[in-house]
Amino acid sequence: MAMSLLSQLKTMTTVVADTGDLDAIRRFTPQDATTNPSLILQAAQQQDRRERLARIASESRDIDEAVDRVAVDIGTEISALVPGYVSTEVSARLSFDRAATVKRAHSLIARYQREGVGAERILIKIASTWEGIQAARELERDGIRTNLTLLFGFTQAQACADAGATLISPFVGRILDWHKARHPEADFSGANDPGVQSVKRIYEHYKAHGYPTIVMGASFRNVGEITQLAGCDRLTISPKLLDELDQQQGDLTRMLHPQKASHEPTAPLDEATFRWEMNQDEMASDKLAEGIRKFMADQRELETLLGELRQNAQA
């Protein structure tokens, strides 16, 4: 019997659901699940959650607490559906504040533990700024596992490995978006996709140097990007693309192999070098800043929703 592309992918890569949609998680049975402010907002807008959200909002001291409680509430539900990690993001507002990120991460873990979800099940998602990466270094030493997100460049990946992050989420589709906007006539299909090339380079570098940090490709625009990265440690995929993979058949070739990794010289990055190299990488700088702004915009929308529910409950 022919196997779907999704079934074949699961034999060579750990498949992660990039969603807060519980029905989609039940259907595709991923190993892990990731969320972010945009996905939490989508889940929070579901009508069947409004009563719970109103209760959380009314019982919280302030909107910051309400936002974290909603994220943990949804994450706790997800943790019952997947056997592996659940990623929960620290507020994008804290992307340049190491100490506040560390404090918020400890608070999120404590909330999960009160819900019966152990710290070993949670990845705290943090933007891959210099401050975020240093917060991850501290959290990993404290026994809290991290997922460094909004990662667009090799410099960010190097610094994350230096910091001992459990996992990184290098973005694919948003890198492609940037290049297509500037070179609309170029052929970016298949292996020519600059987002695919970025993840492949990071993966091979990590394997060549023996870094234990997990590489999880993210932010896909099409099935072709996913199949080009078959064999990556993990891939986090939206329900729409999971469905496409599940519906398609054919032979899936493994594209990434640890033993084929090429060696690139490297040295630990200090802050000045990191900032200089990020400054030189126009795409990574642009997309990191844009990603933080977009996540923060969705968080503000969630905050507004919770504020309205809080006022209605207190009226």
Is 207 considered catalytic here? no
The SS3 of residue 122 is: strand
Per DSSP, helices labelled H in the chain are: 5-9, 22-28, 37-44, 50-59, 63-79, 98-114, 130-141, 154-163, 173-182, 194-209, 223-228, 239-247, 271-280, 282-314
Which residue type, as a one-letter code, is found at position 274? F
The residue annotated as part of the active site, out of 10, 125, 207, 240, is 125
Structure tokens at 42: 């989508």
> What 8-state DSSP symbol labels residue 255?
-
Write out the two tokens for 196: 């695919």
Q: What are phi and psi of 113, to 5 degrees?
A: -65, -35
Q: Name the phi and psi angles at 248, rounded to 5.
A: -95, 140
Q: How many CA atoms lie within 13 A of 198 on its CB side?
A: 31
Q: Catalytic site residues?
A: 125
